[in-house]
Amino acid sequence: MTPAAPAPTGGSNRGVLYAFSAYLLWGVLPIYFLQLAPTGPFEVVAWRIILAFVFCLLLLTVLRTWKAFLAIVRQPRLMALTALAGVLIYVNWQTYLFGALTGHVIETSLGYFINPIVTVLLGVIVLRERLRVIPWIAIGLAVVAVAVIVIGYGAFPWIALTLAFSFGFYGLVKKQIGPAVDAVSGLTLESMWLLPVAVIQLFFVANLTGITLGTAGVLHTVLLLLAGAVTAVPLLLFASGARRVPLTVIGLLQFVAPIIQFAIGVWVLGEPMTIERWIGFALVWIALAMLSVDSVIASRRNRRVVADVVEPV
């Protein structure tokens, strides 16, 4: 059998650039959301849902993909899965905004550091996947890290764990959906399911504290109106990158966002980092390093196995 021609490096390089850009944008999001003060997290999330939906409708029109979108709408299973994905991403967005706007940016970064470990754990529990020894050690270190933070720091990291598990289950649902739903259609449907929630939240915000859109200056209004694009663009960049590069590369790039968030929390916003927090984060970083090395080794081993079974000419 003649070996396949190597894939062009241009597409792979573009894929890395797209994925890196997505994680870079996700990393600096705390700075963007902090500029939205005095808008609170519930109003921000409501506008984020509504404006993301509008932005996606425009994209469907510009990209002329309404036919593919309507084909998805006619499939009850896919509609149910996108509704579940919408609920999970709502929990993630609401928790993240609460953390970012209430001085817990460091804890939000911890959530996204823990997320890969949670994803591995969900693979074992839900998908019945079998793990090697190193991933099990990494999971154990993550549990110890949370225990150190709880006991030493005196506070349960509920923001971090909610972010990690909500995004972990979100990824699990997206895996069940697979390539049947493209990125734009998926975000359109997820936002559509959440529109009633957004309207209810705006109703309560209007009656409790008042809507801030258009009341805090032109710059604030423009920034708030950009919430839809800010939500959609990184997701589309990620989707474009994920199609072009191996999963191991995506696995390594995903640490870009929480590293940037951690740096912003510590050195820009000056959030406290006690010795217990440093120990907890160090344990998580060690666990992630172990997972990354194990993933790279496993990927190389699989490529060698594939190469060995290819018949010579």
Task: Tell me, yes or no, whether 299 lies in a domain.
Answer: yes
| pLDDT, mean of residues 179-205 | 94
pLDDT at 165: 94
Domain assignment present for 79: yes
Per-residue pLDDT, 303 = 65
- pLDDT score at 90: 96
| Residues above pLDDT 70, as percent of the chain | 92
pLDDT tens-digit readout, 5-31: 444 445 678 888 988 999 999 999 999
Residue 2 covered by a domain? no
Residue 248 pLDDT exceeds 80: no
pLDDT at 108 over 80: yes
| pLDDT tens digit sequence for 30-57 | 999 999 999 999 999 999 999 999 999 9
Rounded to whole angstroms, what are the CA distances from 295 to 183, 247, 251, 302? 26, 9, 8, 11
Higher pLDDT, 252 or 95: 95
Q: What is the pLDDT of residue 104?
A: 94
Instruction: Tell me whether residue 194 is in a domain.
Output: yes
pLDDT for the residue numbered 1: 37
Residue 178 has pLDDT above 70, yes or no: yes
- Say whether pLDDT at 295 is over 90: no
Q: What is the mean pLDDT of residues 174-193?
A: 90
Is residue 3 a part of any domain in this protein? no
Residue-number span of the structural domain to which 210 is assigned: 10-309
> Rounded mean pLDDT of 252-277?
91
Locus of tokens 């000419």: 313
**Angle, in degrees to the nearest 10, between helices 183-208 and 76-101:** 50
Among candidate residues 76, 59, 48, 64, the one with its CA nearest the CA of residue 201? 48
Average pLDDT of the residues in 135-140: 88
CA distance 294 to 288: 10
Residues 6 or more apart whose Cβ sits within 8 Å of residue 257: 23, 24, 26, 27, 112
How much is the pTM? 0.87
Looking at the predicted structure, is the pLDDT value of residue 60 above 60?
yes
What is the rounded average pLDDT of the residues 61-66?
A: 94
Mean pLDDT of 227-254: 82
Burial group, residue 171, by CB count within 10 angstroms (0-12, 13-18, 19+): middle
What is the chain's alpha carbon radius of gyration, rounded to the nearest angstrom? 21
Q: Pick the range with the lowest mean pLDDT from 84-88, 129-133, 222-226, 230-234.
A: 129-133
Residue with tokens 């998580």: 284
56/36 Cα distance (integer angstroms): 22
- Whether 1 is in a domain gets the answer no
Count of structural domains within the chain = 1
pLDDT of residue 188: 95
Decide which of 119 and 89 is more confident: 89
The fraction of the chain above a pLDDT of 90, given in percent, is 58
Q: Does the pLDDT at position 308 exceed 60?
A: no
- In this predicted structure, what is the pLDDT of residue 11? 64
- pLDDT tens, residue by residue, 118-130: 888 888 888 787 7
Does residue 249 sit within a domain? yes
The secondary structure of the chain as a DSSP string is: -PPPPPPPHHHHHHHHHHHHHHHHHHHHHHHHHHTTTTS-HHHHHHHHHHHHHHHHHHHHHHHT-HHHHHHHHT-HHHHHHHHHHHHHHHHHHHHHHHHHHTT-HHHHHHHHHHHHHHHHHHHHHTS-----HHHHHHHHHHHHHHHHIIIIISS--HHHHHHHHHHHHHHHHHHHHGGGS-HHHHHHHHHHHHHHHHHHHHHHHHHHT---TTTS-HHHHHHHHTHHHHHHHHHHHHHHHHTTS-HHHHHHHTTHHHHHHHHIIIIIS-----HHHHHHHHHHHHHHHHHHHHHHHHHHHHHHHHHHHSPP-
Question: 10 Å Cβ neighbour count for 218?
Answer: 8
pLDDT of 102: 93
As a whole number, mean pLDDT of residues 212-221 equals: 95
- By C-alpha distance, which of 171, 196, 56 is closest to 118? 171
